[in-house]
Amino acid sequence: MKPFYLTKNAQGYYRAVFFNQQTGVCVKTKSTHTKDKTEAMLLAAEWYKNGTPDGYTNSRKKADKDVSVSGLNLDGIVKRLSQTEAVLLVSLISQKFNLNTNVAQIAADPAPVAIQSATVVPAAPVVAPVVAPISAPTPSVEAPKKKVVVVHKKNALMTSGMIPEDVAAKVYEPLNPECTMKLCEFLVNFWTPEKSEYIQNKRAHKKSIGDYHCKEMRGMINRYWLPYFGEDFTVGQLTEQYLEDFLQELANFRCLKGATINHARTCGATGLKWLKNKGIIRSNPMANVEAFSKSDSVQRGIPDEKEIKALYELEWDSEVMYLAFNLSAFSGLRPGEISGLQVRDIDAEKDLITIRHSWHRTGYLKSTKTNLIRKVPVAHNIILRLLVLAQKCPHASEDSFVFWSCALIDKPYLPQYYDDGFFEALHKIGVSEEERRERNIDFYSLRHFCATYLANLTDMRNVQAVLGHTTPAMTQHYANHMTDEHFDSIRDIFEQCRMNIIAA
């Protein structure tokens, strides 16, 4: 086993993953902060020989000179201390390390002072003034709570001047004043599977609500709801206008896209609807709050025929990327389905692969997006190269992954891994990063390309079956791209029309 491996993060920077040679356990991962593989390899080799430098793992920041060997930023702690806290801290330090400290000066001086103003000296050689000992705080003294800054909880309608303030104030009157539950605390619990009756009931009815989805919803609450409403705002205080102001805040001040705002809206709307159905609140304030348009989203583009041909003939740096490109462009597999492909899914006699699973971007095996199992034909030479790749895994078996990761051989590459290699390949065939971004092309565009070309050559039902869609409408959405062949055909029609008119 190698002492370390190189992997890439989502931004294309190489990371060095170090392993214990006896146990095979990963002991440390550190970013090299470079996209050059040779440079990253040299850095990793130097770290393996001399030890990794201090600093946070996967951070571009140098190690802070003010951070102690214990990892505490003492200078930062001191700057945040109040005078009372400074006196208490000096007393606690003196008791623990048996030091004499002159805290009388600190206690008497009303002006804030830094902790360095207290003279800390060894107890034996110095005779210090006798000072009454300061005891540690009793359990009744609560630690200061972390404050949540309310960003923009203004009564926008009242300050707009559109209608008189006294009229506008009625719009903000609580709809369910009897409900005193704290809003954000309720929403966090609502999206916590262990506490939520809603999630447990859904799962009992075999409806899929994954832990990762719940985690995303809790993240939305902490990122958007909590900074706006604060910790003490109650469910009963909510009104339709408060929610309208909140969503406008996300659009105008946070500059979020419509899809993200709707996601944040949904995590609150689901909880409020549940409260209304349970009879806990009389009126659902979110009932009439409209969702945002998704028109600001950019349609995904696809490579043209010449680019696909150039990519197919390209000498790829990685066999993994070449095979992933083929499976997506010519068989329509999703990135997660490529990662989730196992040896037992390959039928070399019939040149078919069975799509049973998908590897989630957070690192676990799940069912496909539509919970459907399907078979997809694959070129014979690609089937053989897939089997060769799979057999190179040290733990190769029927259940091992075809696209196994060099860093964690029992797991496959994450689906987002393929984007980096695809972007590098596009650059090699002459598609710049600026052009790629403008055309909105990524690895998933290859699946759209496959759908578009299949739709030109076969019945839409066949395309739907190969791509694993549940509705023809979704297949049509994927196949709704104009290709060069379309334009050539239309151009011929226009030219024939023009010639007919001239001849007449």
Per residue in 364-384, pLDDT tens? 888 888 788 888 888 899 999
Task: Give 290-317 pLDDT, tens digit per residue.
Answer: 888 766 557 788 898 899 999 999 999 8
- Lowest mean pLDDT, pick from 11-15, 217-221, 294-298: 294-298
Name the token pair of 211.
């832990």
CB-based burial of residue 432 (10 Å sphere; 0-12 exposed, 13-18 middle, 19+ buried)? exposed
Tell whether the model's pLDDT for residue 130 goes beyond 50. Answer: no
Mean pLDDT of 107-122: 42
How open is the CA angle 431-432-437, to the nearest 5 degrees? 100
| Chain centroid to CA 349 | 40
Tell whether the model's pLDDT for residue 322 goes beyond 90. Answer: yes
Residue 355 contacts residue 342 (beta carbons within 8 Å): no
Per-residue burial over 177-189, b if 16 or more Cβ lie within 10 Å, else e, is eebeebbbbbbbe
Query: Residue 64: what pLDDT?
Result: 46
Tell whether the model's pLDDT for residue 493 goes beyond 80. Answer: no
Task: Give 403-421 pLDDT, tens digit per residue.
Answer: 999 888 889 998 989 998 9
Residue 411 CA to residue 153 CA, distance in Å, equals 46
Query: Residue 423: what pLDDT?
Result: 93
- Lowest mean pLDDT, pick from 108-112, 117-121, 273-277: 117-121
Query: Residue 372: what pLDDT?
Result: 83
**Beta strand ranges found along 295-437 (DSSP E):** 346-347, 352-355, 357-359, 365-367, 374-377
Rg (CA), the chain: 31
Helices (H), 348-443: 380-391, 417-428, 433-439
Confidence of residue 50 (pLDDT cuts 50, 70, 90): confident
- Lowest mean pLDDT, pick from 115-129, 143-157, 344-358, 432-446: 115-129
Residue 300 has what DSSP assignment? P
Name the token pair of 97.
């390390």
- Name which residue leads in pLDDT, 437 or 147: 437
- Name which residue leads in pLDDT, 152 or 308: 308
Tell whether the model's pLDDT for residue 52 goes beyond 90. Answer: no
- Lowest mean pLDDT, pick from 210-214, 323-327, 372-376: 210-214
Given the structure tokens 């102690």, which residue do they identify? 68
Residue 14 β-bridge partners:
8
- Name which residue leads in pLDDT, 110 or 461: 461
DSSP structure string for 45-106: HHHHHH-PPSS-TT-SSPPPTTB-TTS-BHHHHHHH--HHHHHHHHHHHHHHHTEEE--HHH
Tell whether the model's pLDDT for residue 461 goes beyond 90. Answer: no
Rounded to the nearest 5 percent, the helix, strand and coil shares of the chain are 45, 10, 45
Confidence of residue 62 (pLDDT cuts 50, 70, 90): very low
Cα separations in angstroms, 146 against 112, 181, 230, 255, 371: 21, 20, 11, 26, 43
Cα separations in angstroms, 41 against 21, 51, 133, 169, 452: 18, 14, 57, 64, 41
Residue 383 CA to residue 389 CA, distance in Å, equals 10
Nearest in space to 196 (alpha carbons), one of 182, 179, 214: 214
Residue 401 contacts residue 409 (beta carbons within 8 Å): no
Query: Residue 492: what pLDDT?
Result: 63
Whole-model pTM: value is 0.52
Tell whether the model's pLDDT for residue 272 goes beyond 60. Answer: yes
Confidence of residue 164 (pLDDT cuts 50, 70, 90): confident
Confidence of residue 337 (pLDDT cuts 50, 70, 90): very high
- Name which residue leads in pLDDT, 1 or 437: 437
Given the structure tokens 């619990």, which residue do they identify? 189
Name the token pair of 85.
């806290």
- Lowest mean pLDDT, pick from 163-177, 328-342, 488-502: 488-502
Task: Give 340-358 pLDDT, tens digit per residue.
Answer: 999 999 999 988 999 999 9
The mean pLDDT of the chain is: 78
CB-based burial of residue 2 (10 Å sphere; 0-12 exposed, 13-18 middle, 19+ buried)? exposed
Main-chain dihedrals φ then ψ at residue 44, nearest 5 degrees: -65, -40
Query: Residue 501: what pLDDT?
Result: 61
Tell whether the model's pLDDT for residue 504 goes beyond 70. Answer: no
- Name which residue leads in pLDDT, 104 or 131: 104
- Name which residue leads in pLDDT, 381 or 83: 381
Tell whether the model's pLDDT for residue 110 goes beyond 50. Answer: no
Main-chain dihedrals φ then ψ at residue 117, nearest 5 degrees: -70, -20
Cα separations in angstroms, 422 against 293, 314, 414, 489: 31, 11, 14, 30
Query: Residue 20: what pLDDT?
Result: 74
Query: Residue 25: what pLDDT?
Result: 66
* DSSP H or E run through 16: strand 14-19
